[in-house]
Amino acid sequence: MSFGIEAATYYVPSLYLEIKDLAEKRGIEPAKLEKGLGLHKMGFPDVHEDAATFAAEALLKLIKDYKINPKKISRIYLGTESAIDAAKPTASYAMQMVEKVLEAEFGERCFKNCDVVDMTFACIGAVDALHNSLDFVRVNPEKKAVVIASDYAKYELASSGEYTQGGGAVALLVSAKPDLIEIENNWGVATESVFDFFKPRRHFKKEDLKNATESVPDKIEIFTDEPVFDGQYSNQCYQDRIREAYQHYEEVSGKTKPSENWKYLIFHLPYAFHGKRVFTEIYSLENGLPYSNAEEQKAVAKSENYIEFINNKIEKTQRASSEIGNMYTASIFMALLSGLQTSFNENEELAGEEIGFLGYGSGSKSKVFAGKVSENWKNVVAKWDLFENLTNRLAIDFDTYEKLHRKQLEHSVNPDYNGFGLQSVELENPVLKGARYYGYKG
């Protein structure tokens, strides 16, 4: 019996900012962002969008496009690091939004017996959800699970992370009928606790707060959606963890030089060119090339053989990232969609090809695993129209972007949007303070 991904889909935020507009306003050479990091556009959520609406959009699209009976979904595991609540899972908001839309066809509470939860480990939370859900269907082959990766990658304005923002969601149907890709049960894992990128409770004193009333305690702790991070250190942690997980994958699978057999290498992409920049180390180790200083590392990156390796195995998987930016947990799955969609558009046959995955989450952990493209893969990909849909987003100017980022806008930039949207947040009723209410415009 084989297990893996039966169907997949995605949702990207409805707005975007041209990266060259950001570069110009911040005094950065556009070529650094476009040619150095591979960035073109940055997906950005409208006022009514957040990680819960992204997840709901992807879940509803998965159910509709692949004609899934929602009552047959045994679990919905959501990987996210942009949770909208520290106790009530974002998955429960997404599930409820979708339930309401499906009510006419499937009756009230179609997810009544569905196991719903969030999983958080920075960008690797959705890989953990997939790993876990594969184990679940292996034990229960008659059941189906949905994995959703949903995030809004937000950094402080004018910080060095600002140009790596983005967002969106990918939803996967996991089952014993892997029409898209069969995932083998060998997992290379590497974990080390580090502070490369994290979202701690930020500490404030009462006197730091404007208009603080009597009832505000002297010291408060709040979560913000902007991380504390050290960019170059995070690159190093990523490189170290994927090397360790890759070596562990070789041990557990008994394979040597697995990347040689992989048609595509699918990375967690914080920005489009990250995978190809960091894989030079593993490539050098595999090919016996010197790699002990910056000069040797540059020589590997610029070598004809490595450039050919990238062009064959990585370039197509980067294309969607260049148009969206970092999607945190969803980035690795969007890289998969990007590679498969490009092959589909170019009439390339992938059935039977092996694909390798290199996931990373700050904090830090990497998982390396592999899968085989199924005979039916084209039927799944035929529903995506990924690159066409990316051209249907609305461009925003820099001023609007800054206002959205600072949460200074009350109304949606696109008031005619279709789909899920935040309608209100309860601010008065003490037993519901902070509750978020969503609606759907069909």
Ligand X SMILES: CC(C)(COP(=O)([O-])OP(=O)([O-])OC[C@H]1O[C@@H](n2cnc3c(N)ncnc32)[C@H](O)[C@@H]1OP(=O)([O-])[O-])[C@@H](O)C(=O)NCCC(=O)NCCSC(=O)C[C@@](C)(O)CC(=O)[O-]
Work out which of 23, 62, 122, 134 binds ligand X, going by CB under 6 A.
122
Nearest Cα residue to 265 out of 248, 251, 279, 255:
279
Tell me: does residue 80 bind ligand X (CB under 6 A): no
Binder of ligand X out of 2, 36, 281, 345 (CB under 6 A): 36
Stretch that binds ligand X, among 3-11, 31-39, 62-70, 432-440 (CB under 6 A): 31-39
Closest distance to ligand X from the beta carbon of 343 (Å): 25
At residue 384, the 3 state secondary structure works out as: coil
The CA radius of gyration of the chain, in Å to the nearest whole number, is 22
Peptide bond into 364 cis (omega under 30): yes
Distance CA 339, CA 344 (A): 9
- Residue 249, token pair as written in the block: 């994958």
Structure tokens at 264: 């595509």
Cα torsion 428, 200, 56, 342 to 10°: value is: 150
Closest to ligand X by CB, 35 vs 257, is 35
By CB under 6 A, residue 31 contacts ligand X? yes
Decide whether 75 or 277 has the Cβ nearer to ligand X: 277
Q: Binding mask 49-78 vs ligand X (x if CB under 6 A, - otherwise)?
A: ------------------------------
228 binds ligand X (CB under 6 A): no
**Which is nearer to ligand X, 44 or 438 (by Cβ)?**
44
Tell whether residue 161 is a contact of ligand X (CB under 6 A): yes
In the complex, least distance from residue 283 CB atom to ligand X, rounded to whole angstroms:
14
Q: Which stretch binds ligand X (CB under 6 A): 27-35, 367-375, 407-415, 433-441?
A: 27-35
* 357 scored as a contact of ligand X (CB under 6 A): no
In the chain, % helix, strand, coil (3-state, to 5) comes to 40, 25, 35
370 binds ligand X (CB under 6 A): no
Name which position in 270, 325, 359, 419 contacts ligand X (CB under 6 A).
270
Name the minimum Å distance from CB 95 to ligand X: 23
Residue 238 found at the interface with ligand X (CB under 6 A): yes
Report if residue 128 touches ligand X, rule: CB under 6 A: no
Residues linked to residue 197 through DSSP beta bridges, in sequence order: 229
Asked whether the beta carbons of 360 and 238 are under 8 A apart, the reply is yes
Scanning 62-70, 109-117, 155-163, 336-344 for contacts with ligand X by CB under 6 A, the matching segment is: 155-163
Distance CA 274, CA 167 (A): 17
CA-to-CA dists, residue 245 to 66, 229, 266, 318, 368, angstroms: 34, 22, 14, 21, 6
| 318 lies in the binding site for ligand X (CB under 6 A) | no
Distance CA 211, CA 193 (A): 38
Could you tell me which residues are beta bridge partners of residue 118?
78
Examine residue 277 and tell whether it contacts ligand X (CB under 6 A).
Answer: yes
Residue with smaller CB distance to ligand X, 164 or 338: 164
Q: Does 283 bind ligand X (CB under 6 A)?
A: no
Q: Which is nearer to ligand X, 235 or 247 (CB)?
A: 235
The angle, 0 to 180 degrees and rounded to 10, between the axes of the packed helices 315-324 and 331-345 is 120
d(CA 84, CA 151) in angstroms, rounded, equals 10
Task: Give the residue with the Cβ less far from ligand X, 323 or 354.
Answer: 323
Q: Residue 118: CB partners within 8 Å, gap ≥ 6? A: 77, 78, 79, 80, 83, 89, 90, 91, 125
Using CB under 6 A as the binding criterion, the count of chain residues that bind ligand X stands at 29
Q: Which of 361, 371, 419, 421 binds ligand X (CB under 6 A)?
A: 361
Among 231, 247, 255, 414, binds ligand X (CB under 6 A): 231
Interface with ligand X (CB under 6 A), residue from 24, 32, 260, 409: 32
Give whole-number Cα distances, 35 to 22, 30, 32, 238, 398, in Å: 15, 8, 6, 21, 21
CB of 206 to ligand X, least distance (A): 31
> Does residue 262 bind ligand X (CB under 6 A)?
no
Q: Quick check: 123 binds ligand X (CB under 6 A)?
A: yes
Of 16, 93, 197, 264, which one interacts with ligand X (CB under 6 A)?
197
Distances (CA, A) of 121 to 83, 197, 198, 365, 373: 12, 11, 10, 8, 27
Note whether 339 and 264 are within 8 A (CB): yes
List residues near ligand X by CB under 6 A. Answer: 29, 31-32, 35-37, 81, 122-123, 160-161, 163-164, 197, 229, 231-232, 234-235, 238, 268, 270-271, 277, 326, 328, 360-362
